[in-house]
Structure formats: structure tokens, C-alpha cells
Amino acid sequence: MPRESPKAWLVGAGPGSADLLTVRALRIIEQAQALLYDALVGEEILALAPHRCLRIRTGKRAGGASMKQAEINALMARLALKGLRVVRLKGGDPSVFGRSGEEKDFLEARGVAVEVVPGITAASAAAAQFGFPLTQRGQARRLLLLTARIQDGALDTSGWAEAAGDREATLAVYMGRDGAAAIAEGLIALGRDPQTPALAVENAGTPAARLMTAPLHRLGEVISAAAPSGPVLLVIGDVAARADDQSSLRVSDLGGPPTWLSNVSALSR
């Protein structure tokens, strides 16, 4: 029987709850022989992989130890070229600040085919969980996904000027926990109204999610007082005023995923 061509899958694990995986992601995880997973991927999802699957934690969480990207790339290629079904499991969506382009280029250059499987990104998860839209007719005509880059203690705002001054632009800032005050100050300096509604969501899309709201000029202060330890997404724009902590749908409200998840798993085969 001919050996299968080497292949790797870059899979979005979504915000963390197993019931927010796509059916395709579930099917691929169940068939994995080597699973390289980020620190934000929870045990509930890791448990879906086969018992004999090789599990390798790569880290990739702000402030924590992690493998270097070059090491991850090389390890994926080596395992795939040995004939293993390699699954690179990433929090959220692999194509949104997930370095999927770098990994895909590296693997394909070495003869490894790559399939990217999308996942729910933090901005979508937060909006659904806390009942606010990311775009809204007459209020928010575009959405920008950004990351906070702090250099020498100051926010790098290159490329932000147009968006900062556009009241109808919703800004979703990933990895913004530690730079929230600098982000708010930078946006205000570029012309955004200090009273612009803003919010922060810790652990978006999970049962542990927490919502923090404030006008833009107080966002850093509110986050600092709340002292979140998990990943934090910032949303800045008029749509943030629609957020409602009471609208949050928890996994526990559905009784947990095990029974129905196993039924979906069976159907997906």
C-alpha cells in the first residue's frame, strides 16, 4: 500500500470551549497522530484526540515560556515527513494573528501539504457572548482587527491614524491587556473621542469569560483594577455600548458538551 503524502493541518480551536469547534476541526483532531497545541487550548479539546496521539505543548501565551516559532516549524515538518498526521492546534482562528502564513510557507517549501481549518476568533466570540455587534448599519461600517505593539514603553500607532479618527470604525485589539492604557491614550491623541464606548473581555467565548466596560479614557484604569490574568480582547467603538453581561451564554447553560459532542463526532465520520 503506497504511503500517504506528508500533510499537516493548521486548525482553529476557537476561543476554548469544545462546543465552539467546527465539525471539520473535530474530525481532524480525532484523527491526529501528532498534536502541537498552544497554551490557550483547553483540556476539553485536547481530550478529543486519540489516546495514542503524541501531544506537544508549544506554549505561545503572553508572558509564559514557549517554543520558538522556528522550532515549531521544524518539528511539524519533521513529524509530517515521518508520515504522521500532524495537527497544529491554535486558539481562535489560525489566520488571525496565528502565524498560519509563516507555518504554511515553511511546510510547503519542504514538501508538506497544508490544510487550514478556520475557527471562531476572539472578536466574534466576545460579540456573540455579550450581545453586541461588531458592525452596525449607521453606527459601525467597518471592523479593524489589530494587535497592540508596545515599544520602549510607548504604543506603536503607525497605521492607526485613519481608523482612530473614524467614529464608525470598530477596533478589536487582540492581546491588549497590558497595553490598554497606552492604547487608549494613543487613540485619543490621534483624534478618537475620550468618551467612546469601550470594553474588554477576558477569556472570550469560555465559561470563565468576564466583561469590563468603560469610556475609552478610563479603559486602562478599569482593566488594571479588575486585574485579569487571562487573554484580553479590547473592543473600541459605539457598538461596545450594546454589550450586556446578562446576555452571556455559558456552556454550563447547555449542560456541558459531552453527550451532544459525541453524537456530532459519530455523525462526522
Helix, strand or coil, per DSSP, at residue 22 = coil
Which of 6, 13, 205 lies closest to 94, judged by CA? 13
What whole-number distance in Å separates Cα of residue 74 and Cα of residue 78? 6
Which of 183, 181, 154 lies closest to 171, judged by CA? 183
CATH 3.40.1010.10 placement within the chain: 7-120
Write down the pTM of the prediction. 0.85
Angle between the 23-30 and 258-268 helix axes, to the nearest 10 degrees? 80
The pLDDT tens digits for 22-41 are 999 999 999 999 999 998 89
Which of 36, 43, 47 lies closest to 90, judged by CA? 36
pLDDT at 150: 66
* CATH code, residues 123-247: 3.30.950.10
The pLDDT tens digits for 114-160 are 999 999 999 999 999 999 999 999 999 999 999 877 666 667 777 78
Decide: 198 and 214 in contact? Cβ < 8 Å: yes
Binned at pLDDT 50, 70 and 90, residue 250 comes out as very low
Architecture of the domain made up of 7-120? 3-Layer(aba) Sandwich (3.40)
Active site residues: 38, 60, 175
CATH 3.30.950.10 placement within the chain: 123-247
